[in-house]
Amino acid sequence: GNSVTQMEGPVTLSEEAFLTINCTYTATGYPSLFWYVQYPGEGLQLLLKATKADDKGSNKGFEATYRKETTSFHLEKGSVQVSDSAVYFCALRGATNKLIFGTGTLLAVQP
């Protein structure tokens, strides 16, 4: 069945550091891929998405590229801020129409 594997956390970085959170998936067909973010005390929000191979999703300085050849959708940001501290979830949505999530990665950015 479909599944998502993402890098375990916590990830602790200093402000302005480069961020990568790895995400790989297993799926039949051509799923859409998503990154959701959950800030402390808040609900789950869509951060970015990509619906087909080689698409790049981007938002708030974050980027992720849909790589079919490596079945990956790694999240990157060039310079993180304290306000980026949150839990990040990689997810896919395929023919079953439901979102399948990874386990989440806690990011802590220190000033």
Partner 1 sequence: GAGVSQSPSNKVTEKGKDVELRCDPISGHTALYWYRQRLGQGLEFLIYFQGNSAPDKSGLPSDRFSAERTGESVSTLTIQRTQQEDSAVYLCASSLTGGNAGNTIYFGEGSWLTVV
The Cα 64–Cα 36 span in angstroms is 12
| Least Å from the CB of residue 43 to partner 1 | 4
Residue from 37, 77, 102, 109 binding partner 1 (CB under 8 A): 102
Nearer to partner 1, 8 or 15 (CB): 8
With b for 16 or more beta-carbon neighbours within 10 A and e for fewer, the 87-109 pattern comes to: bbbbbbbbeeeebbbbebbebeb
Site for partner 1 in 66-95 (CB under 8 A): 89, 93-95
Told to check if 104 binds partner 1 by CB under 8 A, we report yes
Residue from 56, 60, 68, 98 binding partner 1 (CB under 8 A): 98
The Cα 10–Cα 76 span in angstroms is 16
3-class secondary structure, 31 = coil
Site for partner 1 in 11-50 (CB under 8 A): 31-32, 34, 36, 42-46, 49
The Cα 64–Cα 54 span in angstroms is 10
Nearer to partner 1, 18 or 39 (CB): 39
Report CA-CA distances (Å) from 107 to 53, 56, 64, 89. Answer: 27, 22, 16, 11
| Least Å from the CB of residue 85 to partner 1 | 16
Nearer to partner 1, 81 or 103 (CB): 103
